[in-house]
Structure 1
Amino acid sequence: MDVKRILKNLDWWLVAAVVLLLGCGLGLIDSATHSFAVSTGKAWHVQRQSMFMAFGLLLVTASFAFDYRMLKNYASRLYIFNVVLLIAVMLFGHSQLGAQRWIQIGSLSFQPSEFAKVFLIICLATFMDKRIEWLENFKDYLPVFAYIFVPFILVMRQPDLGTSLTFIAILVGMIFVSGFKYKWFFRLGVLFVALLPVFWLILKDYQKNRIRVFLNPELDPFGSGYHVIQSKIAIGSGGLLGKGWLAGTQSQLNFLPENHTDFIFAVAGEEFGFIGTAFIIILYAIIIWRGIAIALDADDNFGTLLAVGVTSMFMFHVMVNIGMTAGIMPVTGVPLPFLSYGVSSLTTNLMLVALLLNIKVRKQNLQF
């Protein structure tokens, strides 16, 4: 492996943005779990996140030894493995926070639906790459829709609405670059609106409550609306410069629930203010910009589809998470990439960054 050539052709904008977000994430997780660390004498969350961060960065480094095009050879097996893993969650998974999404192996707990995003991007990109020349009419896309149906339903059954919607975001990004016509998007949008009453009937009660609370947080201020209300208070109280690290009252006094996972952006808003959150959003904008650039510059359709799938996932997660903490989107449990605590999510995100970097490096025609 020619290390010098890899370093020369690496997408340093993308690397810098990810590294800075990882650093911010550790600082925010440390702050959000500070009271826990003080009471127990152990910074367990920070230590665990740091350990898997190091593991993820090793995966990124090791990924340069492989050509991303080799993934096409394993797509069928990855799809089957993904489905089997999601079925295993239904049969043997354990529940947490009202959902059965985790598999416990000894002391290690992981969330298969997070890794399902990586598998779906690889498998769907392979599936569409083989058919890209025949995707001309709407009916030609029906096999593509059917391809994601099984993992989509299995994730919905957990239930995990956030990941299910992420699958849709990935699909939309990929079919868009493959030539899916605007009029078809419009018709699907009309169909979606028409089917909203049906979707409402299949939602769980807590999911319905989240939508009601999104429309009116004061409807249940001490129940479903509590998260959003406290999050908006935290962000608003940060002002321009914030209260300072470890000085946020909403997070330090544990008024803000799930402050180290889904609502970590509210911690950033309270402690670092508008300036700090704007800096974080700029870093995400850089990741999305570089993802789009890598997709447009890829050597092959498979690389383009992979990069678009990864970028669509990051874009969706950032928009939905920040939107829900600000009260302009329903609470869906979608983590904020690189900032939220969660080793499954962190490992998944770093694997996807490795894909983007690999596509960029291979564009330079490096020899291994």
Structure 2
Amino acid sequence: MNLTDRHAVWQNIKSHIAVFDGALSLIMFLILSVGIITLYSAGIDFPGRVEDQLRNILVAFVIMWIAANVSPQTLMRFAIPAYALGVSLLIAVAVFGIVKKGSRRWINIGMVIQPSEIMKIAMPLMLAWYFQKREGMISWRDYVVAALLLALPVGLIIRQPDLGTGTLVLAAGFYVIFLAGLSWRVLIGLAVAAGASLPVLWSVLHDYQRQRVMMLIDPTSDPLGKGFHIIQSTIAVGSGGVLGKGWLKGTQAHLEFIPERTTDFIFAVFSEEFGLIGNCVLLFLYMLLIGRGMMIAVNAPTMFTRLLAGSITLIFFTYAFVNMGMVSGILPVVGVPLPFMSYGGTALVTLGLGAGILMSIQRHRKLIQT
């Protein structure tokens, strides 16, 4: 093999290794680093949590690398099979799924999985594919079809019941529909209709879901029961002050007043130990993450990639907004993790897959230009 051939082989190998977007990777690395530091403090009474999370990060990294190597054209071919597989598994869960803590969310297919997680990516993938096929001739009927495609899996997920994941899947699909050009007049009409239907929605909520809403309004009505999470997390957030109590010095966390402090309520631990200044830095990092994702979406070459990148980026925003909102007591507790910070493998892999798709869109845009 001569020098020219070796150079060509190396360039081919390099093109499949150096697939990460520099700016997006740096922002994610910083948030993950903050997450590990916070998890070490939050999980000091749970040996092995940091090591487990590092393994989760490694798995998410591999998934992200694989996704970054898959071209948008190939992703389009996966849209229908991924959506069909996700819906089929959700139906299977409804029929013979595994029940844990009163919810039927899991299924055993040789290993126990939660199919609703698949829909966080499969849903925007399917709708982006649909609007790409209808580009240039989108009518109101297409928005109705898209809404029906969205309603089926969301209904199955909420029925489990899993309001948190159902909300995220609903948001992922809605973002695609909105970015595809849904009229503001329609949005206003939907908002009015949603407001008018609140009494009906209230009647179909499960008892525990109603209790979460009531605890948001007045958590002190059950301070040692349903309101305990919100009360203790808001105390932790407020007690951090401007500068925080210092790393490993959070009293609410280490005296075990904060439930689920390594997962859904890790933001309360961070706020107590790093205070308002730390929160501002963390918010700035999330703003950079969302800003970079939106730049990738704006510069994407096709309608499919623009809608997909925009939806995934706004899902990152939804994760962060809902989690921080529930920990701060301005939203009901719905079990949504803080992206790239909360302990857990499933959500981290889903987020890594989404980030890998963003990197694929950015990478292949550059390849097309060159």
| TM-score in terms of structure 2 length | 0.91
Distance in 1, matches of 2:93 and 2:251, equals 37
Equivalent in 5, 25, 43 of residue 33 of structure 1: 43
Query: Bigger shift: 288-297 or 108-117?
Result: 108-117
Asked if residue 86 in structure 1 is aligned to residue 86 in structure 2, the reply is no
Asked if residue 17 in structure 1 is aligned to residue 21 in structure 2, the reply is no
Shift of 1:5: 6.3
Match for residue 40 of structure 1? none
Shift of 1:98: 3.9
* 1:10–1:35 distance in 2 versus 1, CA, 3 Å: closer
Shift of 1:347: 0.3
Query: Bigger shift: 125-134 or 152-161?
Result: 125-134
What secondary structure sits across from 1:101 in the alignment? strand
Match for residue 353 of structure 1? 355
What secondary structure sits across from 1:262 in the alignment? coil
Please tell me the residue identity of whatever aligns with 2:215.
V
* 1:71–1:58 distance in 2 versus 1, CA, 3 Å: same
Distance in 1, matches of 2:263 and 2:20, equals 30
Equivalent in 30, 35, 54 of residue 58 of structure 2: 54
* 1:17–1:140 distance in 2 versus 1, CA, 3 Å: same
Please tell me the residue identity of whatever aligns with 1:120.
M
Match for residue 157 of structure 1? 159
Match for residue 6 of structure 2? none
- Equivalent pair of 2:69/2:360 in contact (CA under 8 Å): no
Match for residue 285 of structure 2? 283
- Equivalent pair of 1:69/1:302 in contact (CA under 8 Å): no
Asked if residue 131 in structure 1 is aligned to residue 141 in structure 2, the reply is no
* 1:9–1:65 distance in 2 versus 1, CA, 3 Å: closer
Gaps of 5+ in 1: 38-42
What secondary structure sits across from 1:210 in the alignment? helix
- Equivalent pair of 2:127/2:177 in contact (CA under 8 Å): no
Distance in 2, matches of 1:62 and 1:172, equals 27
Shift of 1:75: 1.6
Match for residue 228 of structure 1? 230
CA deviations over 1:178-215 (Å, ceiling 9, x no partner): 11111000001111111111111111111101111111
Distance in 2, matches of 1:328 and 1:233, equals 13
Query: Bigger shift: 290-299 or 46-55?
Result: 46-55
Asked if residue 173 in structure 1 is aligned to residue 183 in structure 2, the reply is no
Match for residue 324 of structure 1? 326
Distance in 2, matches of 1:26 and 1:104, equals 31
- Equivalent pair of 2:123/2:173 in contact (CA under 8 Å): no
Distance in 2, matches of 1:310 and 1:271, equals 30
Please tell me the residue identity of whatever aligns with 1:47.
E
Equivalent in 272, 275, 288 of residue 274 of structure 2: 272
Distance in 1, matches of 2:42 and 2:348, equals 17
Identity score, percent: 39
Query: Bigger shift: 186-195 or 247-256?
Result: 247-256
Please tell me the residue identity of whatever aligns with 1:111.
Q
Equivalent in 107, 124, 134 of residue 121 of structure 1: 124
Please tell me the residue identity of whatever aligns with 1:311.
T
Shift of 1:90: 2.9
Please tell me the residue identity of whatever aligns with 1:69.
Q
Please tell me the residue identity of whatever aligns with 2:273.
E
Please tell me the residue identity of whatever aligns with 1:181.
S
Please tell me the residue identity of whatever aligns with 1:238.
G
- Equivalent pair of 2:98/2:108 in contact (CA under 8 Å): yes
Match for residue 74 of structure 1? 78
* 1:65–1:311 distance in 2 versus 1, CA, 3 Å: closer
Asked if residue 237 in structure 1 is aligned to residue 239 in structure 2, the reply is yes
What secondary structure sits across from 1:100 in the alignment? strand
Match for residue 295 of structure 1? 297
Distance in 2, matches of 1:284 and 1:163, equals 21
Please tell me the residue identity of whatever aligns with 2:266.
I
Distance in 2, matches of 1:10 and 1:260, equals 28
Distance in 1, matches of 2:86 and 2:109, equals 17
Query: Bigger shift: 240-249 or 200-209?
Result: 240-249
Please tell me the residue identity of whatever aligns with 1:196.
L
What secondary structure sits across from 1:35 in the alignment? coil
Distance in 1, matches of 2:64 and 2:133, equals 27
What secondary structure sits across from 2:367 in the alignment? coil
* 1:33–1:10 distance in 2 versus 1, CA, 3 Å: closer
- Equivalent pair of 2:232/2:257 in contact (CA under 8 Å): yes
Gaps of 5+ in 2: 1-10
CA deviations over 1:57-115 (Å, ceiling 9, x no partner): 12222333321221111222111110122223334443444433234577x65432222
Q: Larger Rg: 1 or 2?
A: 2
CA deviations over 1:337-357 (Å, ceiling 9, x no partner): 111112110000000000111
* 1:190–1:287 distance in 2 versus 1, CA, 3 Å: same
Distance in 2, matches of 1:63 and 1:191, equals 39
Please tell me the residue identity of whatever aligns with 2:138.
L
- Equivalent pair of 2:105/2:114 in contact (CA under 8 Å): yes
- Equivalent pair of 2:83/2:126 in contact (CA under 8 Å): yes
Query: Mapping of 1:307-346 within 5 angstroms?
Result: 307-346=309-348
Query: Mapping of 1:189-268 within 5 angstroms?
Result: 189-268=191-270
What secondary structure sits across from 1:102 in the alignment? strand
